[in-house]
């Protein structure tokens, strides 16, 4: 089959595999991009200091506590380059965000992958003399589970001050409730903590690649020292600015995603599916033996989902049509499984 015959089908499918926003740009963002497009012949800022200042102002902190990069993954790479040498250790749970093993290899670090999805005791126990970085993802990717404020604080207190803790909060805008920790509240009391955030998820600016880190002035200076000149383009700056200005409209969009998340999770549980509570913009379908069968059935229903063979399926929350297609696909998967069981019997 040629690529030309495949691509139209892929483009028509519901893409629920990358945790993208189901919405296009906010109207204010679209207007800002249209205005800025006529200036693409001009270079952006040599370093993104204005953008760091903009973010700092909205968060109510000093600009020397903000470092900007090409998505949160770009900030993570700058950090790893700054604080590790080849052979140093980086501890993270597995499964986790797929980029962390890649980044560890890029800086030639020794990766210590702790199983069971962020077992904090096991992660603290994996820290040794060679460890320079520990990575937490909260809410967790791909399961959507949450480390509570109390557990996170207790964990940070266990980690030596010479080990940098990365708290990846890519999905923090989707987490609600009194137990949700805010990394911003912790950086003053934990100078070895770096909080990563992004404009790719809730803000829906994934293609523009803007993320940022929050940390002590010492660590943000280390991160920024690895900043690529002209690395954040002018369109991205204007889009971020417009998105931050449209906070009320953005919150409405987030609320819509959360309502669909809860609706889909409830219907899946009523159907007997194993779906743990999620604090992100995706659901984790914890049916490891059926993961690949589910993926195939979802594809037949027009849904691209992220499959982890032998572990489960991660389903990004899309619009209502996309989420209804998920229900259709998984019901088809159930019917196929029942037919197979009948044949075996």
Q: Do domains 3-23+248-336 and 27-245 have the same CATH topology?
A: no
Cα–Cα distance between 97 and 116 in angstroms, integer?
14
Burial degree of 10 (CB within 10 A; 0-12, 13-18, 19+): exposed
Confidence (pLDDT) at 118: 87
How big is the CA angle at 177 (ends 175 and 178), to the nearest 5 degrees? 130
Q: Could you report the per-residue pLDDT of 44-55, keeping only the tens digit for each? A: 999 999 999 999
pTM of the predicted structure, to 2 decimals: 0.92
Report whether CATH 3.90.1150.10 matches the domain 3-23+248-336: yes
How big is the CA angle at 304 (ends 300 and 309), to the nearest 5 degrees? 95
A 10 A CB-CB count for 68 gives 29
Tens digit of pLDDT at every position of the chain (345 positions): 333 443 346 667 899 999 999 999 999 999 999 999 999 999 999 999 999 999 999 999 999 999 999 999 999 999 999 999 999 999 999 999 999 999 999 999 999 999 988 899 999 999 999 999 999 999 999 999 999 999 999 999 999 999 999 999 999 999 999 999 999 999 999 999 999 999 999 999 999 999 999 999 999 999 999 999 999 999 999 999 999 999 999 999 999 999 999 999 999 999 999 999 999 999 999 999 999 999 999 999 999 999 999 999 999 999 999 999 999 999 987 665 554 554 555
Confidence (pLDDT) at 13: 87
Cα–Cα distance between 166 and 237 in angstroms, integer?
25
Distance of CA 111 to the CA centre of its chain: 20
Confidence (pLDDT) at 6: 39
**DSSP assignment of 88-123, as one string?**
-EEEEESS--THHHHHHHHTT-EEEEESTTT-HHHH
Distance of CA 243 to the CA centre of its chain: 18
CATH fold, domain 27-245, is: 3.40.640
How big is the CA angle at 294 (ends 289 and 298), to the nearest 5 degrees? 170
Q: Provide the β-strand partners of residue 134.
A: 91, 165
Confidence (pLDDT) at 340: 58
Cα–Cα distance between 198 and 132 in angstroms, integer?
23
Confidence (pLDDT) at 3: 37
Helix (H, G, I), strand (E, B) or coil at 313: strand
Q: What residue segments make up the domains of the chain, in order of their start?
A: 3-23+248-336, 27-245
């Amino acid at each position: 089959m040629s690529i030309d015959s495949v691509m139209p089908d892929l483009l028509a499918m519901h893409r629920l595999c990358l945790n993208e926003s189901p919405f296009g740009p906010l109207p204010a963002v679209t207007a800002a991009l249209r205005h800025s497009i006529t200036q693409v012949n001009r270079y952006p800022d040599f370093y993104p200091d204005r953008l760091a200042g903009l973010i700092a102002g909205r968060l109510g902190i000093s600009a020397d506590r903000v470092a900007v990069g090409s998505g949160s993954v770009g900030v993570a790479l700058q950090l790893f380059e700054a604080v590790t040498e080849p052979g140093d250790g980086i501890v993270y749970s597995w499964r986790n965000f797929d980029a962390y093993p890649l980044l560890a290899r890029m800086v030639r670090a020794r990766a210590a992958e702790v199983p069971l999805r962020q077992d904090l005791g096991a992660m603290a126990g994996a820290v040794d003399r060679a460890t320079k970085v520990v990575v937490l993802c909260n809410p967790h990717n791909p399961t959507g589970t949450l480390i509570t404020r109390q557990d996170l604080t207790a964990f940070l207190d266990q980690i030596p001050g010479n080990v940098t803790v990365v708290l990846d909060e890519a999905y923090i805008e989707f987490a609600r409730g009194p137990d949700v920790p805010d990394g911003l509240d912790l950086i003053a009391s934990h100078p070895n903590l770096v909080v990563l955030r992004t404009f790719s998820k809730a803000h829906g600016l994934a293609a523009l690649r803007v993320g940022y880190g929050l940390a002590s002035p010492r660590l943000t200076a280390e991160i920024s020292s690895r900043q690529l000149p002209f690395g954040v383009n002018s369109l991205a700056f204007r889009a971020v600015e417009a998105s931050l200005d449209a906070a009320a409209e953005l919150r409405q969009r987030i609320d819509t995603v959360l309502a669909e998340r809860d609706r889909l999770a409830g219907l899946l549980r009523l159907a007997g599916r194993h779906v743990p509570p999620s604090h992100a913009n995706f659901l984790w379908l914890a049916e490891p033996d059926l993961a690949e069968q589910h993926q195939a059935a979802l594809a037949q229903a027009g849904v691209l989902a992220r499959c982890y063979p032998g572990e489960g399926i991660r389903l990004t929350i899309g619009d209502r049509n996309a989420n209804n297609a998920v229900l259709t696909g998984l019901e088809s998967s159930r019917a196929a499984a029942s037919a197979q069981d009948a044949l075996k019997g």
